[in-house]
Chains A and B, each alone.
Chain A
Amino acid sequence: MLIQILFYGFSLVLVAAALGVIAARNPVHSVLSLVLCFVTSAAIWLLFEAEFLAVVLVLVYVGAVMVLFLFVVMMLNVDFEQLRGGFTRYAWLGWITAAVVIVEIVGVVTAKRLGVDVSRGAAPLPADYSNTEALGHVLYTEYVYAFELAGMLLLVAIVAAITLTMRRRVGLKVQNVSRQVSVKPGDRVRLVKMPAEKRQ
């Protein structure tokens, strides 16, 4: 019973936040609503005993991706008026997409007729079951090849990104600490011997 109350509570917040993402006029508010979406989705995943995914969603999406979004929205001076100009031209596409999604939702809700009972849900797992541990086992045994290759893929992405963007500009004034420390008086001060001037 408690779980159901929690589920509907989080779902309500999720739907409201999702509406906020598309309805907010201020893009910063949109991004913040999206953060709320992710947090409530993570909570719903927790209810489904998928705690690893919940934690990853918060860490990766809220912690990294959304912060990046916020930076982009706040730092870049995007002219949203101009961006939204002509938006209604594509409204028909939006209506079609919405219609398809509605049909799909109805299909899922009435899926019982297909012989799949979705209302009951899966049986609860034993108390000592760890979702994280189970994922770890699968990733490092059955899918170890794909997992390691995905790691290589990320490595290549890093190498490519750095290769294409990092450049050593000429004439850049950077400190070289070791040279600063090992500097000798002779390098900085030139002692000039000159005869004393006569007093005027």
Chain B
Amino acid sequence: MQPTFTWSGVAPALPEIYLAAAICVLLMVEVFFGERRRGLTGTLTLLAIAGGAALTLACAQVDARVTLFSGMYVADPLGTVLKLFAFLFLALALLYSRAYLEQRDILRGEFYVLALSALLGVFVLVSANSLLSVYIGVELLALSVYAMVAFDRTSGVAAESAMKYFVLGAIASGTLIYGMSMVYGLSGTLRLDDLAARLTEAPSLGLVLGLVFIVVAVGFKFGAVPFHMWLPDVYHGAPTAVTLFIATVPKIAYFALAFRLLAYGLGGLTGSWTQMLAVLAVLSLVVGTVIALAQTNIKRLLAYSAVANVGFLLLGFVAGTPTGYGAALYYMLAYVIVTLAGFGVVVVASRRGFEADELEHYKGFHARDPMLALSMMVVMFSTAGVPPFIGFWAKLRIIEALWETGHLWLVIIAAAASVVGLFYYLRVVKLMYFDAVPAGLPATEKRTGVRFALGLNALAVLALGVVPNPLLELCERLLG
């Protein structure tokens, strides 16, 4: 007896199928027309993303939870929403980075193909319902990202950071699959929903050991201390356009990894992994915040800020309640929206032969380019958690969720880290608005389309902060 494939049996997975087909088509387009028309693949990629978003919306799961492919794939409202956000974030990242790639002569079709394959990895993770699909999603995403970091072959720094990322990432993949093999061996199932149903009693020692390895891998992917070593080097060494990408879109996948694998599949071990994540989160908050104080390079500054933010995000998981997961989801989305604008400014402020990546370059930025300076100020205020912006609500929700579950100490540490963090975020604002312009900086380029998108992005940071409820309620409904 063989299972048969019907249309209804694969239709919910159309976004992934569409994306795989789009990757192949774009690869062919690049082969035959890429040499003659440089920007063609980029334009087609944006069109493909628009088409994919429409398709995802068309086959969206409103209320149901459907599993396909012998339970390896799950289609649910959370997956649909995360995929739509991933499309949006990728489109913005590609839009911002196009001129940057052109200026450095690395505007090649492969960049877009790799970005889309990374997106496919994100999708696989977002819809994963089996340890196997989780692992393949992680690998698909990681492999594409390694290649993107090394994309500028003339840059030695990029090659070095890609190598670091690759070697450390391979170890993380190893720990992930090692932990998975223990969990599989002791539970007898690869499916996450079966796993959730079976792990109801007190966990055996072997399961907890497997869990440790999985948590290490999740911590590495997020860049949580002490597995954060790769993050500043990769953010710093990669071309800024790639940094913009890896700082934003994959975060969706890592949230999905933590949620599907830990909160859902290994939900029976919540008591164990929340303690492990609490250690990672506190260390990330402290180390990320303290080291960020000493940075002179804005890419490294944002990298350590990412570490501290990951600490906050993980605290949402530490709460171990649906409210906590909802807060973590909201935090992740808010962080990605803000980071898109932050690295967007760095990308747009650079030009051929000039990287605007030192804090030095932002002295008197307001006098040189008021619009970009304003966007950057919004980013800094929001990341610092100043009230009218979205970052404030994100931090507040996490702290509320921790308060409800009685994690008083974590609340205090999170609040203290936020206060210390204020210093270096506001220092950037001070540099931009109150310092004199150093001599010898090239003028920024006027590119109306990108600036418009960036302005909207910064405006969204403010608007979603003034009217936080729709997104907040969406997150709560998805995970409630």
Closest Cβ–Cβ distance, residue B173 to chain A (whole Å): 12
- Which of A142, A144, A164 touches B150 (beta carbons < 8 Å)? A164
Also in contact, A164 and B153, with CB within 8 A (given A143-B70, A156-B143): yes
Cross-chain contact B133 with A145 (CB below 8 angstroms): yes
B139 at the interface (CB under 8 A from A): yes
B449 at the interface (CB under 8 A from A): no
Cross-chain contact B72 with A156 (CB below 8 angstroms): no
B3 at the interface (CB under 8 A from A): yes
Closest Cβ–Cβ distance, residue A154 to chain B (whole Å): 10
User: Which residue on chain A has the smallest CB distance to residue B146?
Assistant: A160
User: Which residue on chain A has the smallest CB distance to residue B73?
Assistant: A145
Cross-chain contact B140 with A159 (CB below 8 angstroms): no
Cross-chain contact A159 with B110 (CB below 8 angstroms): yes
Cross-chain contact A152 with B140 (CB below 8 angstroms): yes
B114 at the interface (CB under 8 A from A): yes
Also in contact, A156 and B150, with CB within 8 A (given A137-B2, A142-B3, A144-B69): no
Note all chain B residues with C-beta closer than 8 A to A152.
Answer: 20, 23, 117, 120, 140
- Which of B68, B133, B146, B151 touches A146 (beta carbons < 8 Å)? B133
- Which of B110, B136, B144 touches A149 (beta carbons < 8 Å)? B136
How many angstroms from the CA of A150 to the CA of B108 in the assembled complex? 25
Q: How many A-B residue pairs have CB under 8 A?
A: 70
Cross-chain contact B144 with A156 (CB below 8 angstroms): yes
Note all chain A residues with C-beta closer than 8 A to B20.
Answer: 148, 152
List the 10 closest A-B pairs by CB distance, nearest first: A160-B147, A145-B69, A163-B110, A156-B117, A142-B70, A145-B72, A149-B136, A141-B3, A146-B132, A156-B143
Besides the known contacts A153-B143, A155-B24, 16 further A-B residue pairs in the complex with CB atoms under 8 A apart:
A141-B70, A142-B3, A145-B69, A145-B72, A146-B130, A146-B133, A149-B137, A153-B140, A159-B113, A159-B114, A159-B117, A159-B147, A160-B143, A160-B144, A160-B147, A163-B151
25 example contacts (A-B, Cβ-Cβ < 8 A) are as follows A137-B2, A141-B3, A141-B70, A142-B3, A142-B70, A143-B72, A145-B13, A145-B68, A146-B132, A146-B133, A148-B20, A149-B133, A149-B137, A152-B20, A152-B23, A152-B117, A152-B140, A153-B143, A156-B117, A156-B143, A156-B144, A160-B114, A163-B108, A163-B114, A167-B153
Q: Measuring CB to CB, which residues of chain A are less than 8 angstroms from any residue of chain B?
A: 137, 141-146, 148-150, 152-153, 155-157, 159-160, 162-164, 167
